[in-house]
Amino acid sequence: MLKELDLLKSLLAEVSDLNRTSAVLGWDQQTYMPPGGSEDRGHQLSLLAKLAHEKFVSKKIGDLLDSLQEYGKQLDPDSNDACLIRQTRHDYLKATRVPTEWVAEFSQLTSVAQDVWVKSRPKSDFNAFRPHLEKIVEMRRQYSDFFKPFDHVYDPQLDDFEPGLKTADVQAIFNELRPQQVDLLKQINAKPQVDDSFLKVKYDEQKQWDFGVEVITAFGYDWQRGRQDRSAHPFTTSFGSGDTRITTRFDQLGIASALFGTMHECGHALYDQGISHELNRTPLHDGASMAVHESQSRMWENLVGRSQPFWDHFYGRLQKAFPAELGNVPLDKFYKGINKVEPSLIRTEADEATYNLHIMLRLELEIMMLEGSLAVKDLPEAWNKRMEEYIGITPPGDKDGCMQDIHWSFGGFGYFPTYALGNLVSLQLWECIQRDIPELDKQIAGGRFSELLAWLRENVHQHGHKFEPQALIQKITGSKIDPNPYIRYLKRKFGEIYGL
């Protein structure tokens, strides 16, 4: 069986190389590619997607997986080889149901759609983007149809990002979470609001960049295996165990966007940089799921980056970089300002207490578009209505409304719920970390993050995609995804800030 296993690994390595080559082109498209390159880039990405899909769904790989199935059952179920056989078989059975022609067409469509989104969003020109989104929704429905019968049309979409989770599971979690968050917001709204006006003035962009680099270097970001650039929407991408890249963006009037966005993307990158090298060039060299991945970015952004101990250490450095803007702002006022709870338009800049409501809004709209109960042409109106209902504000234009996220332009239906799920997972892990590292707050207050990162490497990062997310979370925390640790955290933190 070792001969067959080696052959399977060599074929999967070729598929991985094709996908990573495509990722390089995708990174360039969002960072340095000139505007005129979108059509040609679409053809290039389409071809690579087609080649990778054809190679992965080949009869040769299918035969090898069949021949290795019994051998895999004899191995330690947690071993790299057993997990590789099991996870690859799951991915193979799913991929073989999707025609290669569909994959190529969808890649071409979304490559062009992303470029249209980038150009039309600043102008709030939804009509320019609309025909591309209509086609994307149509093709996502086709995608779900490949997996009939299903419990819900959204299930195949969700499974791409959160293997094993069903739409009903997510709705049940959100239904438990929503009323508790709404109640907390009502309590906060009844209290005097904190002042964050000092955050919304002009901050020198280069100094913001330099401070962000200092912070994520302290976190443990390996610059020998990574870099940072600018993009319209911050993202992280990995081309292998030795090359993981992040991007950030800057607000002309404010420091929070780049500051916490940089921490957020670093959290993703630390995960990718921590996956065992033994899994490189296999389907296992990836995160367990997007929710688990998001738990890492939200942990470093919020549980570390917005914590009191973190700023006990870093605030003096930030004041030194921006003496005119922050020199007369006390630490306590700054800490409350960066944790201010208020309705906001932009998901990526929403506070911890309202963020999940942004996600619930998107989930409902995605499901409605796929079900056909919401036409794409009516998306702006539906978005604005729910923003008013859930958040209490109405976007002044589609730029800050239904066009604010890049996800629908690249066809990422099923992606959004993982952001809220990631919040929940981050607190489940955090409670375990605090138990295992009693001195954690003191270490953070001293600017020391090595033991925290080592814990994450040992318990989460190294395993990559070996285990389904629910299995991994239960293995670490003793339970599947649970909203209660997150609720406890919100009540404790904002109870102190607002005197609840």
Spatial distance between the Cα atoms of 182 and 500, rounded to a whole number of angstroms: 15
- Check 101, 134, 176, 265 and give the catalytic one: 265
Spatial CA neighbour of 180 closest among 414, 300, 360, 348: 360
The DSSP call for residue 193 is P
Strand partners, 237: 245
* CA distances for 282 relative to 81, 92, 276, angstroms: 11, 13, 11
Tell me how many degrees the CA angle 201-205-210 measures, rounded to the nearest 5.
120
What six digits make up the tokens of 294?
Answer: 């998001």
Strand, coil or helix: 221: coil
Q: The dihedral of CA 258, 261, 267, 272: what is its sign? A: negative
> Is the backbone peptide bond immediately before 483 cis, with ω within 30 degrees of 0?
no
Amino acid code (one letter) for 481: I
Is-catalytic flag, 439?
Answer: no
Q: Round to whole Å and give the CA distance between 170 and 93.
A: 24
Residue with tokens 């923003």: 387
DSSP strand E in 108-266: where? Answer: 226-230, 236-240, 243-248
Largest CA distance in the chain: 70
Of 222, 302, 225, nearest to 263 by C-alpha is 302
> Which residues, 6+ apart, have CB-to-CB distance to 5 below 8 Å?
68, 71, 81, 85
With beta carbons less than 8 A apart as the criterion, state whether 443 and 310 touch: no
Task: Look up residue 276 and give its two tokens.
Answer: 């065992």
Q: Which DSSP symbol is given to 57?
A: T
Stated length of the chain: 500
Cα–Cα distance between 494 and 498 in angstroms, integer? 6
Nearest to 21 by CA among 289, 293, 281, 287: 281
From 411, 366, 290, select the one nearest 46 (Cα to Cα): 411
In a 13 Å sphere around the CA of 158, the CA atoms on its Cβ side amount to 23
- Helices then strands, counting H and E runs in the chain, come out as 21, 3
Distance in angstroms (rounded) separating the CA atoms of residues 55 and 113 = 26
Q: What is the DSSP letter of 2?
A: H
Active site members: 265
